[in-house]
Structure 1
Amino acid sequence: MAKAGAQLTRQGWLGRVRSAQRPLALAASLVVSALAIVSGIDRETRARPDLAASLPLQFGPNAQAALAHGRLAENDFGAARGHAEAAVLSAPIEPDSTALLGAARAGSGDLAGAERAFLVAGRLGWRTPITQFYWMQGALDVGDERVAALRLDAILRADPALVGNRNLLAPLEASEAGREALSVQLRAAPDWLERYGGDVDALTLPEAAIRADVLGRLARSGHPLGCVAAGPLTRRLVYLGDIALGNDFWRRHCPGRSGSLIADRTFGDLQVNQPASPFDWTVIGDSDVSVTVDPAGAGQQRLLLASSASFPRKILMQLIVPPPGNYRLSWSATVAGGAPRDRIVATVSCRPDAQDWLTPALDPASKRYFVDLSVDASCTGRWIGFGLLPGNDAVSFGSVDFRPR
C-alpha cells in the first residue's frame, strides 16, 4: 500500500473529495461511523462536536477528535490539524485520531505528511473508514481497481448504510475495470449487497444503469440475486423509463422467468400481494371481484374468479417486452365441469391502465381462447391485462401464452 500512497497527488485523493459540494465532508462523515469505542461524555462529543468546546482537555482525545472532525467539515484544515495533533498526543495508538490528522494534513496540502499519518493509521487498525477511503483513492490513482474495491468493501462492511453515499461509490463505479472489481467483491455476498441492490429509490437513470451493470456482472458470474432481491432495481429502471434494461436485468437475476415472453405462464409463482417486479403478474384488488388461487399440481396454479360487478373489471396484468411482429395471446377459461367460458377478455397496450378489451375467439381443438394481434415499435414494453366480464358463475383461469404466429 505504501507504493500507492507515494504516488498520490493533490488532484488525486484530496482532489476527488473536493469535487463534492463540501470538500472533505465525505471523509469527515465517514469517521462518525467508526467512533463507537469510547464511553461517557467523551463519546457524546463524537456525535455533537459543539459539546467539545466546553470540555476540558483531561476528558481525553475524543473531545479533540470531535473538534477536528467539525473543523474538517467546515474546511478549516489548519484548526482541524491542531485538534487532531492534540488528539494523537493524548492517545498515540488510537487509529481514528491519526486518520483525522491525515485528513487535516491532506486538506492543508501536506500530502507527504498525510501519507505518513495514514500509514500509521493503517498499522493501528483498518476498521477506520477514513483510512480505508484514503487508500481506496490511492489505489484508484495508480489504476489498481482491485485494491480500491477491497478498501470500499471494508468501508461498507463496517457500515452498509454508506451504500447510499454516491460520492463514495462513484469513483469506483465510473470505470469498466472498477465495476468489474466491485462485482467480484459482491460474489462473497457481503452484508451491503442487499442495500446495493435494494436502496435505489434516489438513483437517477444513469446511476441505476451503472448499478444494473455491476449486478449484471454478478449474475453472469453465476451469482444471481434472485427474483425478490432483483425487484427494487427492476422497478426503478421501469419507473425511470428504461423498460428494456429493466427486463434484461430482471431476467438475468430471475432465470426461472426467462423461458418465454410471458413470465410464469401457469401462475406457479404468482403472489396475490405485491409482486417482485412489473414483469411478474400483478393481481389488481377490487371489492367486487374475488380471486382465489387454486393449486393445479406440478408447480402450476389456476385462478378461480368471481365478480359481482355489472361491467368488465381488470383482474391481472404483466409487463412484457416483445419485438415487433404478429402474435397470438391465448389462455384457458372454464367453469365447473371443464366447459369453456367466454368471460375473460384481454388487452395489450403501451399503457398499464388500458381497458380497450379484445374479444377472444375459441379454438375448438384446444378449447383455448385467443386473440391475434400485431405489435409495432411505438413503445418498448406492452402491458398485457385480463378482465372479467359480468356473470354469475365462477371461472377457472390459467395457462396463459403469448407467442409469435
Structure 2
Amino acid sequence: MAALLSGSDRQSRDFPNSPSVVGWPYDTGAARAKAAIAFVRSGPASAIGYARRAILSDPISAQAVSILGRAELFSQHQLEARKAFQVSGQLGWRDAMTQIYWLDQALQDENYRVAAERLDALLRQTPDDENRDRFLAAVAATPEGRAALAERLKLAPPWALPMAYDLRDLPTDALLQRVDLMRRTGKGVWECAASEVLAQKLITQNLLDDAQSVWALNCGSAGSLVYDGGFEKFDMLKPATGFAWQISDRGDVEIAVLKNATGGQSLSLSNRSTRTLPILNQLVVLKPGRYRLVWRTPETPLTEARQILTSLNCTFDLSDAVEGNAVAGKQNTWSRDVIVDRQCPARRLTFWLPPRAEAHLDNVELLTEY
C-alpha cells in the first residue's frame, strides 16, 4: 500500500491532475500538486493548507516552502510570505519563485548587487525564461544595476549568449541597456557573431554610434577604423551584417578568396561588365575630420592596381571615386586622404573597378590623421 501511495505521489508532481492521496506521511508531491491546483482554481488562500501539508511531509524541500510563500504573498500576508521565502532561500538556489521574490525585494531596497545575484541564479537555470527580458530591464534600469549585472556577466553565465542573440521586439531603451551591459562587461564573454546581431538591430534603428561601439568591442579592428581589413574573417557564404564587408551580387562581378604562403587571405576582384561598378563596400561611422585610406594590391600589375577607385560617401557615388596614390617605399601600397564632414554619421567605404578590370586587394586601413 505504501509503495502504491508513493508512486501516485511521484506521479502527481509531473501530472497534477492525476489521482493522488493527501494525508499520509509521504504525500509531499500530492500536496504540492493540490496546492497548485487550488491556487489556480480557488485562489491563493485555498492553497495555504495544502502547502503546509507538503512542508510537513518534506520540510527541507525549497519548492514546498516556496509554494507556501507564494500562496501567502498573493493572499496579502506579507510577513508570512517573507518568513517562508527566508526559509526556502536557505534550502538552495534552484527554486525560481524564491529567486524572483528576493529579486523584487532587492530592487525595492535598491540593493543592485543582490538583485543581480538573484537574477543570475534564476537565469542560470532557465536562460530562455519567458520573463528574462522584463527582469533584465528592471535590474538594468539604473547605472548601478547595469554595473552589478556586468559583474555577473564577466563570469560568462549560460544566459549571456541568449541575452545578446534573442532581441525579438525589444524597445529602444532595452536595446541601449544591452549596449551598456556589453560595454561594462568588456571583451571575452561574447564572440563577434553575438555583436553582429545587436549591431544590426541598432543600425536598423539608426543608432549608429552605439552599433559601432558594440561591434568594435567584440569584432576589434586592430587600431584601424575598417573591420577585417586583412580579410581574415571574410566569408562569401555568410550573409554580411553590421559593419562587415559586403560584396556585389551582380553576375558580372567575380570575387575570390586567395590564400597566401603565411596562411593569410586576400581578395581577387574582377569586373566583367562594360561599366565601372562598386565591387566591395563596408559601413563605417566617422566623426568629422581628416582620414587616410591605405590598401595593398599584391601580385597585381601596376596598370591594373592603379585602376582601383575608392569612395567614402553617404551613398554609393561614383563621382567621388578616385584613384589612390602610390606610397613611396612600400611596394603595391596605395593611399588617399579624405575629409569627412557632418553630412551623414555613417558612410560607405567602397572599392570600384572600371570595365574589364582585375586586381588583388589586401590590408585595407582607415586611419585618423593627426
TM-score (norm 1): 0.75
* Offset, 1:175: 1.9
Secondary structure, aligned partner of 2:312: strand
Contact kept in structure 2, 1:335 and 1:341, CA below 8 Å: no
Question: Match for residue 209 of structure 2?
Answer: 244
Residue 259 of structure 1 pairs with residue 215 of structure 2: no
Structure 2 gap segments, 5+ residues each? 1-7
User: For the Cα contact (< 8 Å) 1:327–1:374, is it kept in 2?
Assistant: yes
CA distance in structure 2 between the aligned counterparts of 1:306 and 1:232, rounded to whole angstroms: 31
Residue in 2 that maps onto 1:126: 93
Q: Which ranges of 4 or more aligned residues in structure 1 deviate by more than 6 Å?
A: none
Counterpart Cα distance in 2 of 1:263 and 1:344: 20
The equivalent position to 1:108 in structure 2, one of 41, 56, 75, is 75
Q: Distance in 2 between matches of 1:70 and 1:338?
A: 81
The question of 1:194 aligning with 2:161 is answered yes
Partners of 2:49 and 2:87 lie apart in 1 by 18
Q: Which residue of 2 aligns with 1:16?
A: none
Q: Distance in 1 between matches of 2:321 and 2:108?
A: 63
1:293/1:304 contact within 8 Å kept: yes
Match of 1:361 in 2: 323
Q: How many residues align?
A: 356
CA contact (8 A) 1:227 1:276 kept: no
Secondary structure of 1:245's partner? helix
Report what 2:273 is aligned to.
Answer: 309
SS at match of 2:87: helix
Letter of the aligned partner of 1:170 in structure 2? A
Residue 173 of structure 1 is matched in structure 2 by 140
Check the 8 A contact 1:268/1:299 in 2, yes or no.
no
Question: How do residues 198-209 of structure 1 correspond to structure 2 at under 5 angstroms?
Answer: 198-209=165-176
Structure 2 match to 1:402:
366
Match of residue 29 from structure 1: none
Number of the residue aligned with 2:15: 45
Question: What is the alpha-carbon distance in structure 1 between the residues aligned to residue 53 and residue 301 of structure 2?
Answer: 86
Contact kept, 8 Å, 1:310 with 1:390, in 2: the verdict is: yes
Distance 1:70 1:223, change over 3 A: farther
- Residue in 1 that maps onto 2:246: 282
Q: What displacement does 1:111 show?
A: 0.9
Are the aligned partners of 2:310 and 2:324 in contact in 1 as well (CA < 8 Å)?
A: no
CA contact (8 A) 2:51 2:68 kept: yes
- Whichever residue aligns with residue 119 of structure 2, its letter is L
Q: Please name the residue that 1:271 is paired with.
A: 235
Cα distance, 1:145–1:326 mapped onto 2, change above 3 Å: closer
Secondary structure of 1:160's partner?
coil
Q: Which residue of 2 aligns with 1:324?
A: 288
1:117 is matched with which residue: 84, 95, 105?
Answer: 84
Q: In the alignment, is the contact (CA less than 8 A) between 1:273 and 1:283 conserved in 2?
A: no
For each residue in 1:285-337, what CA deviation from the matched residue of structure 2 results, as whole angstroms up to 9, or x when unmatched?
44333211113456753211234434444332211111113445454457754
Q: Which amino acid aligns with 1:103?
A: R
Question: How far apart, in 2, do the equivalents of 1:379 and 1:188 lie?
Answer: 39
Q: How far apart, in 1, do the equivalents of 2:111 and 2:84 lie? A: 21
8 A Cα contact 2:9 2:29, kept in partner: no
SS across alignment from 1:318: strand
Is contact 2:324–2:336 with CA below 8 Å preserved after alignment?
no
Q: Which moved more, 1:356-365 or 1:65-74?
A: 65-74
Secondary structure, counterpart of 1:162 in structure 2: coil
Please give the secondary structure, in 2, of the residue aligned with 1:257.
Answer: coil
Aligned to 1:160: 127
Residues 1:136 and 2:100 aligned together = no
Instruction: Letter of the 2:75 partner, please give it.
Output: S
Cα offset, 1:169, TM superposition: 1.6
CA contact (8 A) 2:295 2:333 kept: yes
CA distance in 2, matches of 1:74, 1:325: 68
Given that 1:93 and 1:124 are in contact with CA atoms closer than 8 Å, whether structure 2 keeps it comes out as yes
Show the counterpart of 1:32.
Answer: none
Cα displacement (A) at 1:248 = 1.6
Match of 2:3 in 1: none
Secondary structure, in 3 states, of the residue corresponding to 1:161?
Answer: coil
- 324-333 or 256-265: which moved more? 324-333
C-alpha offsets along residues 141-163 of structure 1, whole Å, 9 cap, x if unaligned? 33332222222111111111128
Counterpart position of 1:292: 256
Q: TM-score, normalised by structure 2?
A: 0.81
Query: Pairwise mapping of residues 8-157 of structure 1 onto structure 2 (< 5 A)?
Result: 41-45=11-15, 52=17, 55-57=19-21, 61-62=28-29, 65-66=32-33, 68-69=35-36, 76-89=43-56, 91-157=58-124
